[in-house]
Amino acid sequence: MSAKPTEAEREGIKHHLIDILSPNQEFSAGDFVNLAKNIINNTDKNIIISGGSWFYIKSLLDKKMLPPISPNKELRKELENNTNLELWEILNNLDPKRALEIHPNNKDKIIRSIEMCKYLNMPISSYKREDNEAYSANWYMPNISRENLYERINLRVDEMIKQGLFEEWQKNKKNYPQSSVLFNTIGYKEFFELEEGLYTSFKEAEEKIKQHTRNFAKRQLTYFKTNKDIKLIQNEDEIIKDLSQ
């Protein structure tokens, strides 16, 4: 993917869980937790977990484990035929509390939640999760304004376009023509929508990538506010100072 760190950006520091899947392969928070735990438990070094998805990191470090539920491809294929609002209503009937936690446009998470409710035969919000493996962690988040964050997002999308995001989409669309993963990925789905005539120009599709990324970032910020352990920092030096105390 055009957004992953380059070899130069990695600066000789070992990175994990990069280039481990094909673009058409599904990857859940549970998959991430299992792989990350294996890495953490087999090293004597401190690990930096950088995101990315708040839900994935929370699932790894939460005090309670995620239910070990494998994807149900037949159910997912059936649910894909529904609109976002119809899916949200299905989830609302199964688990009203869970439905309130998810935006109606977050189709992937809604489908996953429906899948889990049906597997458990009960609301996810009522499921008593087992204790998770305990890890000691320090949480940090850059203390920047929302306006500054949005500006950074816009600039990053511009850079991704320059680095060949559209050409990358064309290649993966050809190699994985039936992949729902590609169609639901921000930065790819907008080009599918451009191809379908939903947008009038490439520039409009580009602006939609920026808008959808900003929307995702906004949801992530909402999640961050639920973690009282997060420390706001201005730069890396503040992290080093805090860890040395």
Mean pLDDT, the chain cut into blocks of 10 residues (245 residues total):
72 86 82 92 90 83 84 89 93 93 83 93 89 89 91 95 94 87 88 95 97 89 84 91 88
Question: Cα separation of 177 and 31, whole Å?
Answer: 24
Question: Cα separation of 159 and 165, whole Å?
Answer: 9
- Token couple for 79: 């649910």
User: Does 227 reside within a domain?
Assistant: yes
- Determine the pLDDT at residue 228: 87
Instruction: Check whether residue 60 and residue 91 sit in a common domain.
Output: no
pTM, full prediction: 0.75
- Determine the pLDDT at residue 2: 53
Instruction: Check whether residue 44 and residue 99 sit in a common domain.
Output: no
pLDDT tens per residue across span 39-75:
999 999 889 998 777 888 888 998 888 888 888 889 9
Beta pairing partners, 131: 64
User: Does 163 reside within a domain?
Assistant: yes
Instruction: Check whether residue 118 and residue 187 sit in a common domain.
Output: no
Question: Cα separation of 42 and 38, whole Å?
Answer: 6
Instruction: Check whether residue 182 and residue 218 sit in a common domain.
Output: yes
Look at the chain and report how many structural domains it folds into.
Answer: 3
Boundary (domain end) residue, out of 96, 113, 137: 137
- Token couple for 8: 């130069």
User: Does 183 reside within a domain?
Assistant: yes
Phi, psi of 64 (to 5 degrees): -120, 145
Instruction: Check whether residue 165 and residue 240 sit in a common domain.
Output: yes
The torsion region of residue 187 among left (phi > 0), alpha (psi -120 to 50) and beta comes to: left
Instruction: Check whether residue 146 and residue 238 sit in a common domain.
Output: yes
User: Does 7 reside within a domain?
Assistant: no
Instruction: Check whether residue 82 and residue 122 sit in a common domain.
Output: yes
- Determine the pLDDT at residue 165: 94
User: Does 158 reside within a domain?
Assistant: yes
Beta pairing partners, 141: 232
Containing domain of residue 173, as a range?
141-244
Instruction: Check whether residue 161 and residue 105 sit in a common domain.
Output: no
CATH number of the domain at 104, please.
1.10.20.140
User: Does 74 reside within a domain?
Assistant: yes
Boundary (domain end) residue, out of 94, 113, 137: 137
User: Does 11 reside within a domain?
Assistant: no
Residue type, 50: S
Phi, psi of 131 (to 5 degrees): -65, 140
Question: Cα separation of 102 and 10, whole Å?
Answer: 34
Instruction: Check whether residue 234 and residue 209 sit in a common domain.
Output: yes
Instruction: Check whether residue 85 and residue 112 sit in a common domain.
Output: yes
Per-residue b/e over 48-65, b at no fewer than 16 CB within 10 Å?
eeeeeebbbbbbbbeeee
User: Does 10 reside within a domain?
Assistant: no
Boundary (domain end) residue, out of 137, 170, 197: 137
Instruction: Check whether residue 110 and residue 79 sit in a common domain.
Output: yes
Instruction: Check whether residue 114 and residue 181 sit in a common domain.
Output: no
CATH number of the domain at 218, please.
1.10.287.890
Q: How many helices (H) and strands (E) does the chain have?
A: 13, 2
**Opening angle at CA 71, ends 66 and 74, nearest 5:** 150
What percent of the chain is modeled with pLDDT above 90?
Answer: 48
If one counts every other C-beta atom within 10 angstroms of the C-beta of residue 135, the result is 14
